[in-house]
Chain A
Amino acid sequence: MHMKIVLENLTKIFPSRNKKSGEEVVAVNNFNFTIPDGKLIGLLGPSGCGKSTTLYMISGLQKPSSGKIFFGEDDVTELSTESRGIGLVFQNYALYPHMTVLQNILFPLQNLRGKDKMSKEAMLERAHEAAKLVQIDELMDRKPSELSGGQQQRVAIARALVKMPRVLLLDEPLSNLDARLRLQTREEIRRIQKETGITTVFVTHDQEEAMSISDMIVVMKLGVVQQIGKPQEVYDNPENLFVAKFLGTPPINVFNGVVRGEKLYIGDADVLSVPGINDQEVYVGIRPEGFILDPDGALACKLSNVEVMGRDVSVVSTHEASANPIIRSIIDADNVINTAAETVRFSLKPHKVFLFSKADENRIRFEVK
């Protein structure tokens, strides 16, 4: 019943709005990816990266300029949305405002024709099943305007699930919810996806959201796929500076560094040995958890302040070689820091340090001993 989705050289070009300049916008550029059967995939990137366009091409609401889309073995590229058998949850839910929750959920079933046509009792049963799955079975007689954002979102998911779609698509499903509800609902989406086993693709600009529930994430930038992989793998092993910067809270710290004689220098300090790398200027990305408080550490930073956050301590400092205005490092709360000191010294965890070429911002890999 469920199936993998294959995107083959998928490209979407929007004609320019300004006819004189005639510049086209390449929203999605040559996207190749096989979404495995029954997995939850997060399409992740800043606004304008083409993630929603990709989702809408899978749904059929937008037609690709070139490339192909397969559901399982079927080429669905030319198939209309109506015939694709997908479920789609819109960013603003798009619940029919004049129908009750029950009528909204029943609506896709009432559209079934021919051999799929269902009896009234069967439809009601299915609607109640779907409502139970998203825990809204007590709200069936309400109108959408009488529901909270979180409840509306569940109704939208129930409406998408009730016809047992081959593929479930979610467009920024959590963006209209407040912070607490967002946490709760994303777990819910994960649970529902696990229970139903429907291949699910969701779009988000929130890396934390994508990392926390996805089986795989696809990081996009300006229509081009940057990296595809399991969330932890992508976090631990970014392909380029953009991916490294996009994933992680607090974000990665970036320094301007130099490699000389297989040693990495930040400013004048020799901070790490990087075997096998030619002499060159590089960007150095250091994850906040990659710093070790060390009185003999090579990296000396000017201490700004220390934020205690219970389990961890966040040390905010500055360094003239830093590409960001501040350096934020997370260290264990057991460490005692002299908050009056002017400088703080760190040594580094080599596997939390990434080097990127100054020319193309791609990763330069070195061997970690």
Chain B
Amino acid sequence: MVDSKHQWKAWLYLAPAIVLLLVFTVWPIINTVRLAFLNNYNSLTAVNQEEVVTFAVGIENFKTVLRYDGFLTALKNTALLTVITVPLSTLLALLIAVALNSIKPLQKFLQTIFFLPYVTNSIAIGMVFAAMFNVVGNFKIPRLVSTYGLVNNIIMFFGGDPINWINAGSGYWANMFVLIFYIIWNALPFKILVLLGGLQSVNKQYYEAAKVDSTPRWRVFTKITVPLLSPMIAYVVITGFIGGFKEYSSIVGIFGNTMGAPGNEGALNTIVGMIYDVLPKQDYGLASAAALILFAIIFVVTMINMQVSKKRVHY
């Protein structure tokens, strides 16, 4: 413990960090709450008037957000993407981590390859994915198509018909498939890293004991590996859900900031996308209210996650 005489020194050393946190984190949070509860707050109206404009305190912003016809679409898209991608990417990451952990040669090399997406810009990856799924030319007139893109070429190589993934006239689930594919791929490296780290810190003796007990491989995985990794799995799932509800840049990366295939703009919007939609109109009140609603959703989902993991996470 620092005695009171020298406490000012401790505060002094902490000051730079505290000041930065206050200015760039604490104040914006407080301000967000304030703006959300000022009815119809708009920074243009707030600044451009001669006299100071006061806004009534109330929940008008929240009402507007909930009535906004894009809100339900955004909520549905966000929830669908999260619920589908988090379990799938966690399971895949777990299998890859276990596989990586059980090979000796090339382990470091493969580890690096799996980690590459993590250090690559997600917009750039999105554009590469868009190119892979893109069809250049008019999809309806095959002789005008100059390329069907990598993915359709693979499908056609195996004798399938090309699919309109992301171009004009493409279907909702075709779009979603591309997004899910991309999000899972993008989410893998971090999860693999965490799970592999967890695996490598598991005492080898448990596996030797399992061998002595003549345990079949599948039972070793389900009864020993997964329970011993459960704290890491819980961590990966919880952070995955939080990240999933903040999904935005992946859609921009593939579809651009129209948030949808051409002719179907906004169909793939997410909650964060919605917040960005209202910002250019200076509707800070609406954006703040939407942000708080997003926060509430994430908060509730995380609480549920923690409750579930309390029962599932061992020791």
Q: Footprint of B on A, CB under 8 Å?
A: 59-61, 80-83, 85-88, 90, 92, 94, 96-98, 107-108, 110-113, 143, 145, 159-160, 163
Contacts and interface: CB of A to CB of B under 8 A. Distances in A.
Contacts, number: 61
Contact of B211 (A61, A92, A98): A61
Contact of A96 (B208, B209, B216): B209
A96 B214 contact: no
B144 interface: no
Contacts of A83: 214
B156 to A, nearest CB: 46
Interface string B201-234: 0010110110111111001000110011010000
Interface string B148-183: 000000000000000000000000000000000000
A94 B315 contact: no
Contacts of A160: 212
A82 B211 contact: yes
Output the residue of B211, B215, B224 with the most chain A CB within 10 A.
B211
Given A94-B203, A94-B208, A108 B315 contact: no
Given A94-B205, A98-B230, A111-B214, 20 more contacts: A59-B212, A60-B211, A80-B211, A81-B211, A81-B212, A83-B214, A85-B214, A87-B212, A88-B208, A92-B205, A94-B206, A97-B314, A97-B315, A98-B315, A108-B214, A111-B219, A112-B214, A143-B315, A159-B213, A163-B213
B202 to A, nearest CB: 10
Interface residues on B, range: 10 to 19
A61 B206 CA distance: 13
Interface in B191-209: 203, 205-206, 208-209
Contacts of A60: 211
A163 B228 CA distance: 24
Contacts of A94: 203, 205-206, 208-209
Q: Tell me what chain B mostly uses at the interface: helix, strand, loop, or mixed.
A: helix
A108 B205 CA distance: 15
B315 A86 contact: no
B314 A98 contact: yes
24 contacts: A60-B211, A61-B208, A61-B211, A81-B211, A82-B211, A82-B215, A86-B212, A87-B212, A88-B208, A88-B209, A92-B203, A94-B203, A94-B209, A96-B223, A97-B314, A98-B227, A98-B314, A98-B315, A107-B215, A108-B213, A111-B219, A113-B216, A160-B212, A163-B214
A129 to B, nearest CB: 17
A82 B315 contact: no
A184 B132 CA distance: 71
Contacts of A143: 315
B214 A90 contact: no
Nearest to B217: A82
B205 A90 contact: yes
B229 to A, nearest CB: 10
A43 B117 CA distance: 53
Nearest to B315: A97
Nearest to A81: B211
A90 B208 contact: yes
Q: Which of A59, A87, A94, A145 has the most chain B CB atoms inside 10 A of its CB?
A: A94
The 10 closest A-B pairs by CB, nearest first: A98-B314, A94-B205, A108-B213, A98-B227, A94-B209, A81-B211, A82-B214, A88-B212, A111-B215, A111-B214
Contact of B209 (A80, A90, A113, A163): A90
Given A92-B205, A107-B223, A143-B315, A98 B212 contact: no
Nearest to B215: A111
Contacts of B219: 110-111
A79 B35 CA distance: 72
Contacts of A87: 212
Best-buried of A83, A86, A96, A145 by chain B (most CB within 10 Å)? A96
Nearest to B203: A94
Nearest to A145: B315
A49 to B, nearest CB: 21
Contacts of A96: 206, 209, 223-224, 227
Contacts of B228: 97-98
A331 to B, nearest CB: 47
A85 B214 CA distance: 8
A82 B216 CA distance: 9
**By CB atoms of chain A within 10 A, which of B212, B223, B228 has the most?**
B212
Contacts of A85: 214
Nearest to B219: A111
A272 B211 CA distance: 57
Contacts of A90: 205, 208-209
Nearest to B214: A82
Contacts of A61: 208, 211-212
Contacts of A98: 227-228, 230, 314-315
Interface string B74-94: 000000000000000000000
Contacts of A111: 213-216, 219
A63 to B, nearest CB: 13
A212 B206 CA distance: 31
A248 B224 CA distance: 43
A89 B211 CA distance: 12
B134 to A, nearest CB: 48
Contacts of B208: 61, 81, 88, 90, 94
A85 B216 CA distance: 14
A98 B202 CA distance: 13
Chain B CB within 10 A, most for which of A60, A90, A145, A159: A90
B175 to A, nearest CB: 42
Contacts of A145: 315
B222 to A, nearest CB: 12
A108 B230 CA distance: 22
A87 B208 CA distance: 12
